[in-house]
């Protein structure tokens, strides 16, 4: 597996969180392996990975609910080893929010302030101000069950933010919301973070959330980070096959490298389909490889002439059209090998009327496809 690129810990001045060789196992199972990274002050940092990869374990170590087996963990330069969760300058937004149902909105937000011994008038002012900032002015007296899903979300965040933590940890807070609301809250959360300027460490298994909101995303797998970078970097320059497959939709092919031409390689699948692509990492002729090309990186047309000249072109038969407005795709089988591919349909709806069985032509730039050692 190619080496991930952990951001090296820098001076405490710039970084709110530094994680150094953090390690945690449950019995024989290693949940978090020797992890090192740091999070820049004021940034929105996401950890993206499939279920069970260790995200929650990592976050809970930062919050202090789980003690690491090894390594260090510094917040604002101070080691947090042995510091109880209620004494760490971090707050957490839980997956199911964990709002206190027996308290009103105002009481929920004031809870942490009161624990700090802040007197009720001062606390009240802060609560009012905080509710204003999350767009729920005057909701102090409401019961939790009177709130909509999105409003609950905002109260949960307000409850943490009011304590002005150095770090806000969020564990898939949008997971329980329905689709439309989730779309909406993504944008709202990003804006909120930009306004308050608090450092967010955000966990999700939904790549769209991570891409839309984050300044930096770490892609996690089996307790390690595969790649840390900006959303664009992950999307356009995946460092590992895992990242290429996990972030964004992708067509995936397996085969053996036939030819190499500088940084580009030609891979041939078992069914005989030959595909050019960018190689990532060490890879040479004769090695088995996996190749990814994104549905939206493929140009499609009824005529071969519609395709941009220069790129390798293929013809194919339409298997089925998955019409979904702006996200429509077509499933085709390449003509000679029969290999199935998904291709995104143009946004304009130009090809929305494709019919099953029709012949189409497609092409892609080899520089937009990546090949990894298998």
Partner 1 sequence: MIPSLPRPASQRFGLGAFVAGFFVFLFVPLLVVAVFAFNDAAYPTPPWMGFTLDWFAADSDTRTGLLADGELMRSLGTSAWVALWVTVLSVGVGTCNAFLLERFEFPGKNAIALLTMLPLVIPGVILGISILAFASRIANFADETWGLELDFLRPGLPLVILGQFCYIVTIATLTISASLRRFDRTLEEAAYNLGASRLAVLWTITLPYLRPSMIGAAAMAFLMSFENFNTTLMLVGSDPPLTVLMYGRMREGATPVLNAISLFLMIASALLALMLLWRKPAGTSD
Partner 2 sequence: MSESTHRRFFLWVLLAPALLWLLGLVILPHVELLLLSLQARTGPGEYGFSLEQYRTFVDEPLYWNTFVRTATLSVLATVLTLLLAFPAAWYIAKVAQGRAKTVLLVLCLLPFWVSEMVRTLGWLILLRETGVVSSVLQAVGLADQPVELLYRDATILVGLVYASLLFMVIPLVNSLESLDDSLIEAAYDLGGSTANIVRRIVIPHAAPGIAAGCIVVFMLCLGNYLTPTLLGGKNSLWFTEQIYTQFITRFNWNQGAAFGFLLLFLSSLLVWTGLKLTGQRFGAVMKT
Ligand X SMILES: Nc1ncnc2c1ncn2[C@@H]1O[C@H](COP(=O)(O)OP(=O)(O)OP(=O)(O)O)[C@@H](O)[C@H]1O
In the stretch 56-95, what mask flags binding to partner 1 with x, by CB under 8 A? ----x--xxxxx----------------xxxx--xxx-xx
Residues 188-227 binding ligand X (CB under 6 A) are 205
Taking CB under 8 A as the criterion, the residue among 159, 186, 190, 205 binding partner 1 is 159
Residues in contact with 294: Cβ distance below 8 Å, sequence separation at least 6, in sequence order: 248, 249, 250, 251, 344, 368
Q: Which residues in the 327-366 window bind a second copy by CB under 8 A?
A: 327, 331, 344, 346-349, 352-353
Please choose, from the candidates 270, 273, 275, the residue with its C-alpha nearest in 3D space to the C-alpha of residue 297. 275
* Cβ pair 37, 19 in contact under 8 A: yes
User: Which tokens in the block code for residue 311?
Assistant: 């790129």
28 is a contact residue toward ligand X (CB under 6 A):
no
Q: What angle, rounded to 10 degrees, do the helices at 105-115 and 120-133 form?
A: 130
Report the residue number, 60 or 222, with the smaller CB distance to partner 1. Answer: 60
Question: CA dist 35 to 7, 206, 311, Å?
Answer: 11, 21, 41
Residues in 28-87 that interact with Mg ion by CB under 5 A:
56
Is residue 163 involved in binding partner 1 (CB under 8 A)?
yes
Query: Binder to a second copy among 144, 218, 243, 297 (CB under 8 A)?
Result: 297
Which of Mg ion, partner 2, a second copy, none binds 232 (CB below 5-8 Å, type-dependent)? a second copy
Indicate whether 173 belongs to the interface with partner 2 (CB under 8 A). Answer: no
Are the C-beta atoms of residues 156 and 93 closer than 8 Å to each other?
A: yes
For ligand X, the closer CB: 53 or 339: 53
CA distance 152 to 101: 11
Please list the alpha-helical segments (H only) found in the chain: 55-63, 105-115, 120-133, 149-161, 179-196, 207-213, 231-236, 241-246
CB of 195 to a second copy, least distance (A): 12
Residues that bind ligand X (CB under 6 A): 26, 29, 31, 49, 51-57, 205
């Amino acid at each position: 597996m190619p080496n991930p690129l952990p951001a090296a810990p820098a001076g405490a001045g710039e970084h709110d969180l530094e994680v150094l060789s953090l390690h945690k196992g449950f019995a024989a199972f290693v949940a978090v392996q020797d992890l090192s990274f740091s999070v820049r002050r004021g940034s929105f940092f996401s950890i993206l990975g499939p279920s069970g990869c260790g995200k929650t374990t990592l976050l809970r170590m930062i919050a202090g609910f789980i003690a690491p087996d090894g390594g260090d963990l510094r917040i604002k330069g101070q080691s947090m080893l042995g510091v109880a969760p209620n004494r760490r300058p971090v707050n957490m937004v839980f997956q199911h929010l964990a709002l206190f149902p027996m308290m009103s909105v105002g009481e929920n937000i004031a809870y942490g302030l009161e624990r700090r011994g802040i007197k009720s008038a001062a606390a009240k002012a802060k609560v009012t101000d905080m509710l204003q900032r999350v767009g729920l002015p005057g909701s102090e007296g409401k019961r939790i069950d009177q709130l909509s899903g999105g409003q609950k979300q905002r109260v949960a965040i307000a409850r943490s933010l009011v304590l002005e933590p150095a770090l806000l940890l969020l564990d898939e807070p949008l997971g329980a919301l329905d689709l439309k609301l989730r779309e909406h809250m993504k944008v709202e959360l990003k804006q909120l973070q930009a306004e308050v300027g608090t450092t967010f460490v955000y966990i999700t298994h939904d790549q769209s959330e991570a891409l839309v909101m984050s300044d930096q995303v770490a892609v996690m797998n089996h307790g390690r980070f595969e790649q840390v970078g900006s959303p664009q970097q992950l999307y356009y320059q995946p460092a590992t096959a895992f990242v290429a497959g996990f972030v964004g939709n992708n067509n995936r092919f397996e085969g053996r490298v036939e030819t190499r031409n500088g940084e580009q390689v030609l891979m041939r699948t078992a069914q005989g389909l030959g595909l050019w692509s960018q190689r990532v990492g060490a890879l040479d002729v004769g090695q088995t490889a996996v190749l990814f090309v994104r549905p939206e990186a493929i140009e499609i047309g009824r005529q071969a002439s519609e395709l941009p000249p220069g790129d390798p072109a293929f013809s194919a038969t339409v298997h089925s059209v998955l019409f979904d407005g702006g996200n429509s795709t077509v499933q085709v089988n390449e003509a000679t090998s029969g290999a199935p591919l998904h291709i995104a349909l143009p946004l304009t709806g130009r090809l929305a009327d494709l019919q099953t069985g029709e012949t189409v032509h497609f092409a892609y730039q080899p520089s937009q496809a990546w090949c990894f050692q298998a």
